[in-house]
Amino acid sequence: MFALGLIGLLVRRNILFILMSTEVMLNAAGLAFIVAGARWGAADGQVMFFFILGLAAAEVSVGLALVLRMHHQYRSLDADLLSRMRG
Amino acid sequence: MSSFYLTGAVAVAATLLMILSLNAVHALLYLIVSFLAVAVIFYILGAPFVAALEVIVYAGAIMVLFIFVVMMLNLGRRAAAQERAWLRPAMWIGPSILAAILLGEVVYLLTRADVPAPAAQSVGPKEVGLVLFGPYLIGVELTSVLLMGALVAAYHLGWHRPKLEKANVDDSRARGASPGGDFVRAGADRSPGTP
Amino acid sequence: MRSLLWLIPAIPFFSALLLAVFGPRFSRRSVALFGVGSIGLSALIALGIAADFIASPPPNHRDTQTLSTWMNVGDLNAPVALLLDPLSLVMIGVVTFVGFLIHLYSVEYMAPEEGYSRFFAYMNLFVGAMLILVLADHLLLLFLGWEGVGLCSFLLIGFWYTDPNNVRAARKAFIVTRIGDTALMIALALLLTHLGSLEITTLLDRAGQVWPIGAPLAIWAAALILGGAVGKSAQLPLQVWLPDAMAGPTPTSALIHAATMVTAGVYLIARTHPLFLLAPPVLTAVAVIGAATLLIASFSALTQTDMKRVLAYSTISQIGYMFLALGVGAWSAAIFHLMTHAFFKALLFLAAGVVIHAYHGEQNLFQMGGLRRTHRFTFWIFLIGGASLAGLPLVTAGFYSKGEILWETWALGGSALWAAGVIGAFLTSLYTFRMIFLAFFGAPRKAPAGGEPGLLIRIPLIVLGILSIIGGFINLPPALGDKLLLTHFLQTVLPHTEASALHAARGMTEIGSEAFVTAASLLGLFLAYLFYLRRPSLAESLAGRPVGRALHRFWSAGWGFDLLYDRLFVRPYLLLAEAFRRDMIDQFYDRWLVRPVFLLARLNRHDLIDSIYTGLSRLAAFFYETLRRTETGRVRWYAAGLAAGTIFFLGWVVLL
């Protein structure tokens, strides 16, 4: 799933899709943690997932706010437009 | 056992469909499905707490947020066509290769260590809670700070739009282009729709 | 009184300096005053010191006055020290006195000249240097004086430097004497190295102790000193410069090239005679050189047309006599002749100056004639000088000095040398009276103008004339009075072997020798009278014959020495210089060093070296461009980069 999320992030140009792919990747990472926790029978994996979740939430809210700003400015969601920091 | 693999397949399929989708909303829906599948996997693995959490927070809150934004943006058919234009098959090659290599590595790593049977034992909410408020207390606190920061940021980033727009227009027309300025103001001079 | 010794050379030096610096600003009067006065002062002091010396001689009949240390380097300790002994006394007497008279003469003679002060400055400098030479207690100091007189000779020969001929003559003189100077320098080095000191008495004592008679080193040293003497005194083979040196003013010729500088060689050999005694072959060489020179020069003098050249060759010849005397061991005889020669030769030169002036610069004998009618004084004074030169019996100084030399030669040297001397005496008389008869007798070919000279010229001439007569009386030979005052005076320095006692049995007495000499000189007189006065046609017919003509040409050209040297040395040297005109050394460097470098530079025309650096910078630019492209600003691109990096790392960790 992580690999899929990575593919999605690299391929799609739409910002939203990139964000969605990022979520997928986070989720996948969390899944890995849970599995590890389940393996050892410890609660730590779940705790980790808990944190990841919180992080994902925060990241999504800020990211979406930025997407909105971008849309307002560029009237487009093309990620490649955000290349003013190119060398 | 089989339920694990089935659910896993569902999750992978949903994710695949998501990244291939042209319509944003469709993609989101696929994503929700994927998350739900993952939640089920969590439950199968004996982590009911996080399964619930996954559904409530991830699929429930975060995805809903996404949907709100997409709906707000009002992309429509034009966007779909644009997506098609953007998504050329040739573009899949590179990332696919990368991901494949990654997948291979992970599989390799996993196969080296022994793989235990899933659902060895269930770790209930009580244990998680104890751990959360025990050793990981500081993590919890930091997460709360992070969330607050995100809240403020999102609020700030989203709120300035209507008022500043008007002010920007007046200001910029009155004084000409502002020197340097921030991203917002500079962008206000651009005509809409230019990529 | 003796402590004033240093003033004798110092006063002329100081005067020379003064005249050199301020001369042009002084009036003629002041210049003359300084120029002549300085020498006069030296002469007076010399006189005083002489009187003091004779009256109360210092211990050992010698005294030294050390003024300061010149240099003290390693083995060489050279003090500025002056030696006063009979020999140096005689020499300074001659130099200052004759010098004074010549300077007095010059006041009037050089009066019409430009560079009046320059002339006197040079002359004073010369006298100072000469005095240093004869007073030096140390050979290095002597060498200083030696070089100094050489320099002044050069300066004075080329006095009228605007004429390149004069300059050439000066250069020739300098270069030829330089050869001698080099020999002398090597001699000094040799002596210093092997004997450890150049202080004269120390040196000679040590030489006697360290070197046996005939020691190779002694022979070398003596031979090299002889080389130096030969150069300075214009003897064979370095006599070529003196005739040309007549290009200088007449007082110069009188002082330098008659009375003093050319006698420096004689003085040197006399001074270092113990060294020569240790090297008998060299001593023989001295005598042989002397004899050969006197003959060659006499023959040459016979054919000269220029009056001054006659006198020049005559000088060479007379110095040959002195060398002859030295060579047989008759040291004091040589010095005696040096003294009398100074008198009459200076007189002759000065008088010749008057004669030439009377003919308005004409120096050709065959253009002169009948001067005695219009210039009686000049005639008589010239006659006195000539007679002394010829050695007319009994009344001339030359007779006594020459006679003594010849007698000593017979006694100590052998009949061959004696015969050469007698023939020389005959020839001397012949060419002298030839000169006199041509210039003063007969019909005037060119009208002499100008009157008799003034007082300042006459007085020196008169004094010299008197000395040319009475000067010989201080050394009357045993046969004619036996009052060898000079010889006895010089005894402490120049030991005299009683010749008559040694070789009385050798076939001839002193009277006999004197008789022969007298006969020779009278014969010369007679023949001159015959050829040049009575029957000139006879002379002309003799000279007209092919043999005569060839001989005439040969003798006139100084026995071809000039030609020889020209072919042997001058031409090759000039050829070499000409060959180097294209600067062969430079060309060599050019071809082998400079050209290859240029070739290399041309190879690098495209700046290969530089292109390495530009290439490097271009490489950097290329990398920059390439890397710049990775900074797309696009998120996905960066993400891809991240992913790739992660994968790579994972792979690394996993697989390695």
Rounded to a whole number of angstroms, the CA Rg of chain B reads: 23
Question: Residue C644 and residue B105: Cβ atoms within 8 Å?
Answer: no
pLDDT digits (tens, 9 = 90+) for C321-376: 999 999 998 888 899 999 999 999 999 999 998 888 888 777 888 778 777 777 88
Share of chain C above pLDDT 90, in %: 27
Give the pLDDT confidence score for residue C65 in this predicted structure: 81
In C, which residues are within 8 Å of B95 by CB distance? 640, 643
Q: What was the ipTM of the complex prediction?
A: 0.86
At residue C143, does pLDDT exceed 90?
Answer: yes
Q: Measured between CA atoms, how close is B98 to chain C, in angstroms?
A: 7
Nearest to A6 among C632, C635, C643 (CB): C643
In C, which residues are within 8 Å of A18 by CB distance? 635-636
Nearest to B96 by CA among C303, C241, C643, C499: C643
Least confident of B105-114, C235-244, C468-477: B105-114
At residue C279, does pLDDT exceed 80?
Answer: yes
Q: How many CB atoms lie within 10 A of CB C592?
A: 9
pLDDT, block means (10 residues), chain B with 195 residues: 83 89 85 90 84 89 88 71 69 77 77 59 78 84 91 81 51 43 41 45
In A, which residues are within 8 Å of C640 by CB distance? 10
Least confident of B51-65, C459-473, C552-566: C552-566
At residue C610, does pLDDT exceed 70?
Answer: yes
Top pLDDT among C296 and C498 is at C296
Question: Residue B98 and residue C647: Cβ atoms within 8 Å?
Answer: yes
At residue C220, does pLDDT exceed 60?
Answer: yes
At residue C30, does pLDDT exceed 60?
Answer: yes
**Whether residue C57 has a cis bond before it, omega within 30° of 0:** no
Q: Is residue C493 within 8 Å of C85, Cβ to Cβ?
A: yes
Interface test with A, best of C634, C642, C646, C647 (most A CBs within 10 A): C634
Q: Which residues of A touch C (CB under 8 A)?
A: 6, 9-13, 18, 79-80, 82-87
Give the HSE-up count for residue B71: Cα atoms under 13 Å, Cβ half-sphere.
7
Interface test with C, best of B88, B98, B111, B112 (most C CBs within 10 A): B98
Mean pLDDT of all residues belonging to chain C: 85
pLDDT digits (tens, 9 = 90+) for C366-423: 778 777 777 888 888 899 999 999 888 878 888 888 888 888 888 887 788 888 999 9
Average pLDDT over residues C549-553: 79
Residue for token pair 């210092």: C58
At residue C86, does pLDDT exceed 80?
Answer: yes
Give the pLDDT confidence score for residue B148 in this predicted structure: 92
Nearest to B193 among A24, A58, A75 (CB): A75
Provide the 3-class DSSP secondary structure of residue B23.
Answer: coil
How far is it, in rounded angstroms, from Cα C10 to Cα C135? Answer: 12
**Chain CA centroid to CA B153, Å:** 17
Give the pLDDT confidence score for residue C182 in this predicted structure: 94
Say whether residue B104 is in contact with chain C using an 8 A CB cutoff: no
Q: Is residue C313 within 8 Å of C301, Cβ to Cβ?
A: yes
In B, which residues are within 8 Å of C643 by CB distance? 95, 98-99, 102
Copy the structure tokens of residue C429. Answer: 């008389």
**Chain CA centroid to CA C123, Å:** 15
Q: Is residue C422 within 8 Å of C391, Cβ to Cβ?
A: no
Nearest to C266 by CA among C431, C94, C499: C94
Say whether residue A82 is in contact with chain B using an 8 A CB cutoff: no
Model confidence at C97, pLDDT cuts 50, 70, 90, reads: very high
> In a 10 Å sphere around its CB, with 0-12 CB exposed, 13-18 middle and 19+ buried, how is residue C338 labelled?
buried
pLDDT digits (tens, 9 = 90+) for C498-532: 655 555 546 667 777 778 888 888 888 888 887 77
pTM for the model: 0.63
Q: If you measure CA to CA, which chain A residue comes closest to C635?
A: A79
A–B CB contacts, 8 A cutoff, strictly below: 212
Q: Measured between CA atoms, how close is A86 to chain B, in angstroms?
A: 16
In B, which residues are within 8 Å of A13 by CB distance? 86-87
Give the pLDDT confidence score for residue A43 in this predicted structure: 80
Say whether residue B95 is in contact with chain C using an 8 A CB cutoff: yes
In B, which residues are within 8 Å of A19 by CB distance? 66
Model confidence at C119, pLDDT cuts 50, 70, 90, reads: very high
At residue C120, does pLDDT exceed 80?
Answer: yes
String of DSSP letters for B164-187: HHHHHHHHHHHH-SPSS--HHHHH
Nearest to B95 among A11, A24, A34 (CB): A11
Give the pLDDT confidence score for residue C448 in this predicted structure: 67
pLDDT digits (tens, 9 = 90+) for A21-78: 999 999 999 998 888 888 777 788 888 888 999 999 999 999 988 888 888 888 777 7
DSSP 8-class letter at C306: B
In A, which residues are within 8 Å of B145 by CB distance? none
Q: Is residue C198 within 8 Å of C138, Cβ to Cβ?
A: yes
Nearest to B95 among C640, C651, C654 (CB): C640
Q: Measured between CA atoms, how close is C596 to chain A, in angstroms?
A: 50
Copy the structure tokens of residue C83. Answer: 């030696």
Q: Which of residues 138-177 of B touch A (CB under 8 A)?
A: 139, 143, 146-147, 149-151, 153-154, 157-158, 161
Give the pLDDT confidence score for residue B117 in this predicted structure: 55
Question: Residue B24 and residue A16: Cβ atoms within 8 Å?
Answer: yes
Strands (E) located in C211-268: none
At residue C209, does pLDDT exceed 70?
Answer: yes
